[in-house]
Structure 1
């Protein structure tokens, strides 16, 4: 049980997307038994916890993030007993277990929403329903994150319901006492099964303006600051009324009270504007432990982003670092040239930064973003902007365990997404290669723990001459790191012993070269 672990503190968290991790039944889709079988590999990386993406019953209109029962396991993935085995083995391996709570919305098939449509007004009050305007149009001008209107008409109730994401995800009213009681019960259910923490989906979008005012337009020169694809009409508005993160931040004190002091709580902030300030408002001793933003995964992230981000954080270290997830294209491609060198650069960068760190399954292999044809894709966000979507389906291609052609040791059946990995990409192949991305990631995480890099006593940065230079002092000593973001070679930062490096020759860092050395 959870008493085998202390509370997670600035952990390194490994995200598992169950459908794409490992299949034990031959269906072509991963399952909970596959997670159980793969835990030894995860523990060997040197991480502190796993975050399991939704495994609840779902029609999968949005990849499992449209939930019909938050206290059950989708039968296609396994059983509650399978989940209990994961917790037991993870704890025996020294890993904490976090589950993904999708509380902004439910599925259309959730019993509450079904009852609401059938005329149950108590159930309806748990969602956000509004009458049409006199001309029949939607109550407000709000646009969903997926690009269409944030309101859908239901002919049985003769009202519109709100959904800030897909139309199959009706928004819950977090001011409703029944909703709050259910959230507390859900958290109690999973902590009673030994869960050590929760990742809260889209936590900055839980509240909306009770007066239902229209959002103001965003001037064209401000649209790049709004979270979302640049060609998505969502970026044409300042989301001042459909999403009210300030009220959500105060609500986190209630969430902390429900969870208790020993459960690690982490939120996803996808608000965009003032992202760091909002994340810091959501976190603290009586709120969430951590809240991550999308700043580090914006395509083409460079030194300006890093300077602004590190300056805004200003030593608080409550924003976890990450470069890829089930919602983002693979980082070696999105933030580099798709090579193992790009993967090593990002691995070392994430590994030396203070605070929590998140890795996504397969990231330790340096996997590039795979190509998919439109016929292979089912993700609604990718399809809405095909072929220019965010690449969520590509990130969800199952990870390769062996070199077996076509199935890559992931399944004995046909993978639910085609697996076209290059030779040598698999865990088995990289285990045998001391110079592999996997071997490098393990070295990084071993050093992160041994050198106490997540908890520096002193930290400073500068971005002169195209290099991000970090200085850190921990209980294990003083260190300096350099990361070459420019297109020309740059000198390695001065210092003592080189602890770990990538892309370094004769005292020079190649473009996307990186080094960690003692100061």
Structure 2
């Protein structure tokens, strides 16, 4: 079916943290296969696997050394084939992570490339001479430090927008592009149903690689404005579409930092000649620090007015032109119930998790659920730097505390507790046994210590759990065309309400009215709900008309 992904729901699995089958403390493919029945029970359509390729794991698999091999920690190709077969037997589609802005420095292409300027693979990467004994330009890495590393043996610098072990591919080289397309087709021919494309908006670098703007206090310039949505970006993706996606019934989503609604219309246009949809990050930056030097590191809560304004902008801008992706969580983001919700009490955790799910799942686009979101897993709130594994978190601590003295250690640890990527990567909480039923061994990432209270087993035993609420949201999306196709509109007078978010979805037959209390306060609001309206779903058992209880969410159909 064309555009089958439009009323589908995606479930993201972070393989290292989902289920360990052999006691080594690392999740693996047989473990995921074992849990596919659980994922099917939730009701989703697509399972997105974070990278499972062979990798030195410098950046948790986003540094790929062999695109056609499985990381031994996760199993082997036979294990993948079994996972794919069972998923398809259950009616689930498999989406792979595609990381082609950069590779690992242990990839055979890079190992050849660094052998010298005359090597056929030299131009697979971005090599430049230095300037006056310095790097080719002032770009900083997104993982702190410079974006250039000098290679003594071959006498030039290579570009790495992320870790030094993640050299950027040169997409100007047609051999690079077609090697990537061949690899994508190889996976598609195996039966893979789609790709999530890591930082795909960075692949077209600017001509001449000019310096980035930087303040006098900054050591390096931020290259994002120069590398995001580059001059040949859409040309490259249209070529990819022609060579790969047009030949298969695929779902594609591009991670697109710095994407605007105007650019998103090109990436995910309804003509279907590039991608199906993109991940934008604007709503993920609404609770960052007000000090630009600190970036996302803060512990302030996003204002509802900012969330509503941003989600509304994207809903209106793409309607009838392109397709939205809808998400609160992923492997790079802290847990939404701790971030935009309220995990201070068990009652508020459950209510606010359901409220946030309602806010997102009634909008137009394809929803993404990250493992554990469906049971309301929270941030881990680790107390010591040694508890953290994430490279970006550790680097940021040393930069902001030790090098720049912008924060003291207790404050930075508090900010890590709110925003570190480790919060998403703690192992899945299956039950109340040792290590939450994730592993019999010592776990690669420390467990969240609340697993005895928050786990799948407990959720499945409770008919009022967050799990069953998500299950109902997914069922409604599959059942009601208005959720997929209806027009979005803010309720009149709601643009300025600091505490309540109310919007409608409407097609020719049906109107849905979504009302959400973002606070723990009891509120009075009158939205003139028609007498014939039916309460479709709510996170409370009864309806009290114009009264909104703490974190109340309710959706009327008429």
TM normalised by structure 2 equals: 0.85
2:437 matched residue in structure 1: 409
- Pick closer, same or farther for the CA change 1:491–1:219 going to 2, 3 Å: farther
2:405 matched residue in structure 1: none
User: Where in structure 1 are there 5+ consecutive unaligned residues?
Assistant: 221-231
1:140 matched residue in structure 2: 137
Distance 1:427 1:329 in 2: 19
> 1:487: how far off?
6.1
Distance 2:234 2:352 in 1: 36
* Equivalent residues in 2 for 1:109-508, closer than 5 Å: 109-119=106-116, 121-134=119-132, 136-217=133-214, 237=222, 239-261=224-246, 262-271=249-258, 275-284=260-269, 285-298=272-285, 299=287, 300=302, 302-314=304-316, 315=319, 316=321, 318-338=323-343, 339-372=349-382, 373-386=384-397, 387=413, 388-389=415-416, 390-405=419-434, 407-419=435-447, 420-462=449-491, 463-464=494-495, 465-466=497-498, 467-474=500-507, 477-485=510-518, 488=521, 489-491=523-525, 493=527, 494-495=529-530, 496-502=533-539, 506-507=544-545, 508=547
CA contact (8 A) 2:125 2:169 kept: yes
Distance 1:219 1:269 in 2: 28
Question: How many residue pairs end up in the alignment?
Answer: 500
> 1:485: how far off?
3.0
User: Where in structure 2 are there 5+ consecutive unaligned residues?
Assistant: 288-301, 344-348, 398-412
Distance 1:475 1:404 in 2: 51
Distance 2:456 2:519 in 1: 31
| Per-residue deviation, residues 399-437 of structure 1 (Å, max 9, x unmatched) | 1111103x1111121221221124331111111011211
Distance 2:219 2:281 in 1: 19
> 1:288: how far off?
0.4
CA contact (8 A) 1:11 1:355 kept: no
Distance 1:47 1:289 in 2: 18
- Pick closer, same or farther for the CA change 1:26–1:422 going to 2, 3 Å: closer
| Per-residue deviation, residues 128-186 of structure 1 (Å, max 9, x unmatched) | 0111112x111111112122211111111121110111111000001112211111111
> 1:484: how far off?
2.2
1:226 matched residue in structure 2: none
| Per-residue deviation, residues 430-485 of structure 1 (Å, max 9, x unmatched) | 11011211121112211222223542233212434232222112477221101223
RMSD: 2.3
TM normalised by structure 1 equals: 0.91
Distance 1:195 1:474 in 2: 34
Distance 1:308 1:394 in 2: 24
2:557 matched residue in structure 1: 518
Distance 1:79 1:476 in 2: 50
Distance 2:276 2:16 in 1: 28
